[in-house]
Structures are given as C-alpha cells and as structure tokens.
Structure 1
C-alpha cells in the first residue's frame, strides 16, 4: 500500500513538473506578433516617444534630422503586416522623389527584435544621427544641399525564449530561422527599398542628373545571415555583369551601395561563389571601384569562433566534402591554395583564414580631423590601395593581407579584439567611426 502511494505521488510529481515546465516555457516565449503597429508618422524626441510607431521623425529641420521606419517579419519570413511595409515605403517615396536621400537599413541579430527599448535600436539611432551631422557638415563645406537621412530597422524574432540561461540554447534554432527569413520576404523589401534611391533620377526625364541618393544595408550576427541569404544571388548576378571580356567593363556592382556584415553567423562555404568570381583571373579593379561588401568579425567573437563550428560539426556529419583548388591574388601573381570544404562548411566566413582579406587594428597614430575634413580626400586615398598596404582611418588602421587584388569590392576583415570585444559589443566608437567612414566613402555625392 505504501509502495502504491509512493508510486502515485511520484507520477503526480512528474506530471506537475512537466506541466510546470511547459507553462514556464510558454510564458517565457518572446512575443510572436509585431511591436510597431501604429502607422501614423510620429515625431521622436526622447526614448519613450513613439513606442508603437513604425514611422518616426527625429529633429525635424535640424542638423541631426533623420527618419526611422520599422518593418517586421515572422518566423516564416513573412511580413507581420504588409500594411506596415507599405506605410513606411509610402512615407519614404515622396521624400526620395523630391530630394536626394541616404537610406540606411539595419537587421539585428540573436536576442534582439523591434521592441521599444532594444539597445540595437538605440545604437542605430546614434549612427543615423552621426551620419546626419556629417552629411550636413559636408554639404556646408561643399556648398550643396544635404541629403535626407532615411533609416529602416528590420525586426524579426531574434529571441524566441526569454527565460534566462534557457534562451542561450536557441542559437541553432534561431540560425535556421534567420536563413528562412532571408529566403522569404526580406528580398522583396530590399529590392523595393532600392527603388527609392533611384526614383528621383527616374523622374528627371528631360535632363537626368547624377544619382546622388545612396542605399547602405547592415546586418549583425544572425541579421548578417538574414541579409546575406537574401542578397547572395543578387550580388553574384550583378558582379558577373561587370566582368572583363564582355561588351563593356565597369566597376563591380553589388546591392545598393554597400553591404556591411558585423560578426555574421553563417558558414564560409556560402561565401565561396562570390569569393571565386571576384578572384577570377586576378582581375584588376578600376581606381573608382568602391567597396560593395564589408564583413567585420572580431577575433574575440567566441560565439562564432568556437560554438559555431562545434554545432556545425554535428549538423554536417553526414555530408560529403572535398578539397577545392583555388588561388590568392598576390602582388607577384596568382598563388595556388587549397580550400577544405569541410572546414569552410563548419566555420563562419570571418573565422575562415583562406577567405580573409584585411585586418582592422587600433590606429598607431590617431588621425585628427578638423571641421573642414574632406571625405573626398579619403576616397582618393582609398583608390590608391596596394598589396599589404595600410589605410589609416580616424581611429583604426586597415591592413591589406595581400591575398586579393587591391580594390577587390568584397572585404572580409578580421578585427582586433580591442575594437570589438565580443559577439554583441559591436557599437564601440572606433568601429562605428570606421563603419561611418565606409558609409560616407561609398555614398559621396557625384561632383
């Protein structure tokens, strides 16, 4: 009798534990719906403003003026509300039809979303404000009208469980979701946003002026996976159109004007095609060639350096891999290298040494800039890169590793841990200064 009672109590305890666990997990799940459900434009002055607004306007008619829109996707890569995207685009189109614009998009990574107060949103706001101030200063210096700064924050469910400790186990589940989001609706959004930077030129049918509107896209962590998945084929197609031996040759094209991936969490094998076509015949690039994609990975990003390959080992254990014969483009000509597909499939793009092109380190001597600093001069310096040369920026030095032709538009940069101390701390002043310079470098108006 005692035994039966004990058994019953034991089974009851197990049931209670299971019910409690399920209840705990369900209540610990991150929100599944959209956060930005108000499509009426809202003026943003301080952190508590416009909490549910998908369209925000900061500091109207001031040097720090920018607009910020939100578009959100679900776990299947579908728009939470198509009206949300349409509202943002409808707000931006008339601006871009009238004025030149600088459109900057950001896709967040793991543990983030579009909820009010997310620190990625706060840091993105700071970046937009810095760019706005630079744009105004440059316009005053060069006597032209400053472009309107349009920001777009792409939200997806980077956090599926909010329970402490337990949420750290969602790395692989969220990685799969990131690729799903990239494969689905994000490409449509990106291509429609790209139309915005061309709308003004398209309307100038009599005497079209040079296109001075620009489009920059940034992805962090799994946001980098979302972005690269959405654009990989687009970038390959556009690069091929610029190859030598066709009817005409031109600067290599990419998507928009610059793609920036920060501590991206996807395997190097996905980059193989772009790397190969950019190295084909060790082609030379024109002095006017600007960067089309910059990948920045910290040496201290242990999530992608150690955890990622461990997980990929188990998920690729039954796949077959071979060794590829490829080459680096050194100063003395092509140098044969061998790519281990297994290693490329297990390691992230930023931790796969054969594909690295540059190192980013703290500047040996900081470059002091006055109010009259010319970004045009920075562009001229960029055009004179050499194998294994060093470019000096404000707070950092960019060192060419000698594996690619100078001015190759795809930069895969290994970043000193002092600049980016871990996977998530990407917003340090020195790195943001460098990103800002890349953005300005890639978006200077035509003279």
Structure 2
C-alpha cells in the first residue's frame, strides 16, 4: 500500500473516531441515580450483581440477599454521589444529604458504619448496570460477609457503599458494541480529556468525602472508612491528595519521628491500576526522604544513612495509602499461574504512555504511571560480593503482592454469601509479626525485606502456602536483572512505612479492570478492620 494511501486511511480513522466521540456524547450534567424514592432507603432483594429492579435509579438503596436468616440478613446499603463536568460540581445535593443523614441515623440507633467509597475510572459512570457498579456491589457483599465473620452483624454494623460517579466515558459505547464497532478506538481519543476532568473534580470530590467522614467517629468507635479509586478514579484521588501528603510527610520527619503517620482520608485509601503520572507518588517518596534529612539519592542498602529512614515510623504503623498495579513484567516461573494466561494492566502500562503524545493533560516528561515507576537497579560485584545498587533517586514501586492459590470458588456476588467461599476471619498482628521477625532474623537490616502471608487460609495444595496472598517488602524484577537466580531487589520504602506502591501479579488484578478479587479484597478488609500492625 502506498504511503499516501496509508496516511489517508489513518486520517479517515481519526476523523471517524472524532465524530463518534463528539456525536455520541453522553449527557454532561445528568445524575443517573436521582429518582425520588423517599427519605428512607428503598429495599431491594437481589441474588445477583445485576440491577434488574425498577428501584435501581434510587439514590439510596438497601440490598438484601435472598434466603438469609431474617434475624441476621446479609444486607448492605448502596448510595450514589455524582458529579458533572461543566461546571465541575455535585449534581445532586439530595444524594449527598441522604448519605450524611443515614450515618447519623446509624449512630442514633447504636450502629457502627463501615463506609466503603469507590471512585470509578475511565469509560465508566453511574448508569444502571454499569460493570463498575456491579463489581462494587460484589465487593460490598463480601465486606458484609467479612463483618459477619467478626460477629459484627447487620443489626450492629452497617455496610454503606458510596459509589462516586462522574463522566468517565464521553460517548455511548453500548450503542457501538451493538453495531459491532470496536468501542476502544473512539474511546482511546478521550483518555487525555477525561484525565483532565478527573483532576478538575479531585478537590470537590475529596472535600465531599471529608464532609461525609466528619459524620463518622473513626477515633472512638468501630466506624471505619476506606476510599478506593480505579484507573482515572485513582488519578482523581492521587491528584487531590498529593500536595497535602507531600507537606505532611516532610513535616512528619521533622517534627513527629517515631510516631504513627495519620491517614489522609478515612482510615485507608487504595488506588487500583491508577492512570496517573509517577510523580504523584515519587514526590511523596522524595518528601519523606527530605523530612528524614536524606538526599534523593540512594546511599546503599543497609548504609547508616538509609537505615535512619526506618526510625520515621513505628513497627505498629498501618498502611494508610496504597497503590496496586498489575504489572506486565515477566515474573519468575515459580510465580506464574498454572495456565499462564493471566493479563496485566495494558491501559496504564502501554496506552497511557502512548496517549501522552497526543494529550496536554499528561506530562510529556512523566509518561510512566505510578505502578510502573521503578528505581534504576543494578548489581555490583566487589571483592566477590554481589550487591544491589541504585543509580539515581530511591523512588518507585516498593512492594510485591501475589496470590498463591485460587480461592474455593470464583469471586462472585453469590459466593460472597457462602461461608466456604468467603472465608476472611480476623487476622491481627500479621504485619507487626512480619516486621519484627525480620529484625530478629537479621538485626542488621532494620526489618527490611519482610515477607508476609495474609488473607484467608485454605487447605494447601502441593507446594502451596495455606495463605492466598503474599506481600513482600521487595521488588520483583524481570529476568535480565536477576543475579544468583533471584530477582528480588530491596525496597526503597522503609520497612514500617505507611505508603505502599505495590507491583501486583496478574493473579491479584487480572488485566486493567479485574480488581474484584476475593483474596485481595479480604486482605484490604483485614487492614481496615483488624489490628494487623498491633504489637502482641
């Protein structure tokens, strides 16, 4: 094909995609879940995550699983809080007020509230039966089961899910699917523009979440709050929290060394496959080092200057800000799935850097996302001793997470109500024990390199652990970086650090959107609900 013809075809494709983007746009200032259903939550009995009820457009819903005991029903509340583009503002005050009112009612009735907030990402919104809404409902159903296993039944502890909706998709992809048109083609041209919108919304979304948080008593009760963002939803949170966290981390090292670092939002904030520039994390790492009186450069593992970083936080420090990205690096053969067909996060690994060439909203000098940032490791051989070194700043991903075995059933809405497939018993102290045992095993390393098995315990298969999830204070590197048959490089984070940038195996998050994973969700709930970092 002649070069001119190829160029012409490319231009035609671009024009067609642009037309689909502009001609198929969804409404800008329309709240999908704003039906007038009264002041009380509408009760919906649902056996699946699909939304087939006529009440699905209600802003506040109570979901009850069928065939559960009347005196201990498996139930959770689902609320929606939606935001528009022009202007960037809350679309419905009634949605916001219903959430605050229900928390107050829980407190007046003597019930605790476990609030789970979720900010969806690119190509999603709050439309009925959106896949992210369905996945969120599955996560809430598991949390209800996890609380029941802790003796915190629905009559004493309410699960309140808050789905944060915004126009993450700019056009009607469902119509394109019905016409057999690959929706990713026009959607790809909206990534940069939607990213800019997520950043514009970050301040007001976080302000509303903090207003809702003010209704909870996170210090003196069993109320809990976790905030999650996926893809551009993760970018929204990372953008809104970055400057404040940067200042707090620097101040902590200067004025509060050895004390616990406080969460920036709720009890725990989690970014799943965040479509955000790496600097939204690395700036925090540099601020932490600055507060500790260290230069950005790595001085050497176990050097006295580096180990001084370990005194910033106590061994009882819980993680308060976590990023988890499904990395496309090739993991070791002993850590690959049986079928070898697990997918990584192509959107933040490949599409994001590509889109940076066509969008002003992505920093052209920072085309790598948070999860894909990695220190420049290399190996030296001095006097016959091999050592890990870093060329440049000690920044980037600093933890690994992998699923050792499959749970006894798929991560589904139905299985969340089955005890054998939703086991997530209380597990206190595991993080503290891992840190302290590493110090006892090698008192020279200040607890670095700990390896913990967490999550639900299952009957082990041959050669497998009894725990489904493994978290390591190390970084797995691709084979070219291995030495002595090992690809585990030292983490650049302090062993007791409150910030975890985790490189996830495909068994933890499969592809870009496969975050509804029962073992992963169990571990995050343990961090939220249990004293995992408490001293024995």
Question: Which of 72, 78, 92 pairs up with 2:89?
Answer: 78
Cα deviation per residue 1:268-318 (whole Å; 9 max; x = unaligned)? Answer: 112233212334431422122101111000112121112212333565799
Question: Which of 412, 415, 427 pairs up with 2:516?
Answer: 427
How far did 1:64 drift? 2.2
Query: Do the aligned partners of 2:318 and 2:533 also contact (CA within 8 Å) in 1?
Result: no
How far did 1:146 drift? 4.4
Q: Does 1:359 align with 2:400?
A: yes
Cα distance in 2 between the residues matched to 1:317 and 1:257: 30
Cα deviation per residue 1:354-396 (whole Å; 9 max; x = unaligned)? Answer: 2111111232798999979432244543664631221112312
Are the structure 2 counterparts of residues 349 and 131 from structure 1 closer, same or farther at C-alpha, using a change threshold of 3 Å?
same
Query: Do the aligned partners of 1:64 and 1:130 also contact (CA within 8 Å) in 2?
Result: no
Query: Do the aligned partners of 2:468 and 2:519 also contact (CA within 8 Å) in 1?
Result: yes
Are the structure 2 counterparts of residues 358 and 83 from structure 1 closer, same or farther at C-alpha, using a change threshold of 3 Å?
same
Q: Does 1:100 align with 2:100?
A: no
* Aligned residue number for residue 346 of structure 2: 302
How far did 1:105 drift? 0.3
How far did 1:99 drift? 2.5
Number of residue pairs matched by the alignment: 393
* Aligned residue number for residue 400 of structure 1: 473
Are the structure 2 counterparts of residues 152 and 370 from structure 1 closer, same or farther at C-alpha, using a change threshold of 3 Å?
closer
Are the structure 2 counterparts of residues 316 and 186 from structure 1 closer, same or farther at C-alpha, using a change threshold of 3 Å?
closer
Where structure 2 has 5 or more consecutive residues not aligned to the other structure, the ranges are: 1-15, 65-69, 177-182, 293-308, 328-343, 376-395, 409-419, 439-446, 455-466, 475-490
* Aligned residue number for residue 350 of structure 1: 371
Are the structure 2 counterparts of residues 350 and 24 from structure 1 closer, same or farther at C-alpha, using a change threshold of 3 Å?
closer
SS at match of 2:217: helix
Q: Does 1:412 align with 2:484?
A: no
Q: Does 1:152 align with 2:162?
A: yes
* Aligned residue number for residue 290 of structure 1: 318
SS at match of 2:189: helix
Cα distance in 2 between the residues matched to 1:349 and 1:307: 14
Query: Do the aligned partners of 1:366 and 1:396 also contact (CA within 8 Å) in 2?
Result: no
Query: Do the aligned partners of 2:193 and 2:361 also contact (CA within 8 Å) in 1?
Result: no
* Aligned residue number for residue 190 of structure 2: 170
Q: Does 1:45 align with 2:45?
A: yes
How far did 1:433 drift? 3.3
Cα distance in 2 between the residues matched to 1:317 and 1:228: 15
How far did 1:79 drift? 0.7
* Aligned residue number for residue 374 of structure 1: 426
Q: Does 1:189 align with 2:185?
A: no
Cα deviation per residue 1:49-69 (whole Å; 9 max; x = unaligned)? Answer: 322111111228635221111
Where structure 1 has 5 or more consecutive residues not aligned to the other structure, the ranges are: 1-19, 202-209, 321-341
* Aligned residue number for residue 66 of structure 1: 76
Question: Which of 214, 218, 226 pairs up with 2:228?
Answer: 218
Query: Do the aligned partners of 2:117 and 2:162 also contact (CA within 8 Å) in 1?
Result: yes
How far did 1:107 drift? 0.5
Cα distance in 1 between the residues matched to 2:34 and 2:472: 45
SS at match of 2:190: helix
Query: Do the aligned partners of 2:318 and 2:527 also contact (CA within 8 Å) in 1?
Result: no
Are the structure 2 counterparts of residues 258 and 29 from structure 1 closer, same or farther at C-alpha, using a change threshold of 3 Å?
same
Cα deviation per residue 1:203-229 (whole Å; 9 max; x = unaligned)? Answer: xxxxxxx33211110000001011222
Are the structure 2 counterparts of residues 302 and 144 from structure 1 closer, same or farther at C-alpha, using a change threshold of 3 Å?
closer
More helix by share: 1
Are the structure 2 counterparts of residues 95 and 146 from structure 1 closer, same or farther at C-alpha, using a change threshold of 3 Å?
closer
Cα deviation per residue 1:378-435 (whole Å; 9 max; x = unaligned)? Answer: 4543664631221112312111123221120100001112332311222233333333
Cα deviation per residue 1:155-187 (whole Å; 9 max; x = unaligned)? Answer: 00011012433223211111111111113x212
How far did 1:319 drift? 8.0
* Aligned residue number for residue 130 of structure 2: 118
* Aligned residue number for residue 279 of structure 2: 269
Q: TM-score, normalising length from structure 2? A: 0.66
